[in-house]
A = this chain, B = another copy of it.
Amino acid sequence: MSGDITTSRDADQTRQNILEVALKEFSEYGLAGARVDRIAKGTRTTKGMIYYHFGDKDGLYKAVLEEIYPKLRNSEEKLDKSNLNPIEELEKIIDFTFDYHKNNENFVRMVMIENINNGKTLRNTDIDTVLSQNILMELNSILKRGQDLGVFKRSITPIDLHLLYTSFCFYRVSNHHTVSTVLGMNMLSSSNSTRHKNLVKNMIITYLSSPEQ
């Protein structure tokens, strides 16, 4: 029976099962709105196991939160950027960021929720599981190469560049409910998505390529 997909007595599988259900619950209802009983009901195991494996509700929340950043970074690093010039590489990164936010509303919502929580949990997390060093180094290399080639004429920090495109990719997902109501549109319609994706890329590349002042 040990090859069974729902083997009992497999702590890792149990933990993983709980984490999956908890991600859905937390991202749907927030930290305060999430219900441990509802999570327990959604799993193959019982409430006691949540407390056995994760200590308390906050511990479970922390475990869920700590999973989402490495997941993003792993996908990010899978991108193949060989033989690309700086503009193409930057476009590829923005494309990826745009799609990742669009396709992972759970991620976006968890980040929102953690900010409502004043970032308390993330601040108490091991810095390495969270810091975005790789992407910043890559942006730095892109900017440097672009400047050396003369195609980028602006001086900007990798962090600011990161903020410029991420803010748009994040906002259109995080705020799609209120924005769709307030501006009278459907933010996430496929036509809007297509146009928006081109718009950010275009705006950023145009900005970087245009002469200072």
Chain A interfacial positions (CB closer than 8 Å to B): 29-33, 69, 109, 111-119, 122-123, 130-132, 136, 156, 159-160, 162-164, 166-168, 170-172, 174-185, 195-196, 199, 202-204, 206-207, 210
Contact = CB atoms under 8 A, between A and B. Distances in A.
Which among A109, A156, A171 has the highest number of chain B CB atoms within 10 Å? Answer: A171
A114 B174 CA distance: 10
Given A30-B116, A69-B182, A159-B183, 15 more contacts: A30-B32, A33-B33, A111-B178, A112-B174, A114-B178, A115-B175, A122-B181, A131-B183, A132-B182, A159-B185, A164-B168, A164-B199, A167-B170, A168-B171, A171-B171
Contacts of A167: 167-168, 170-172
B170 A168 contact: no
A109 B113 CA distance: 10
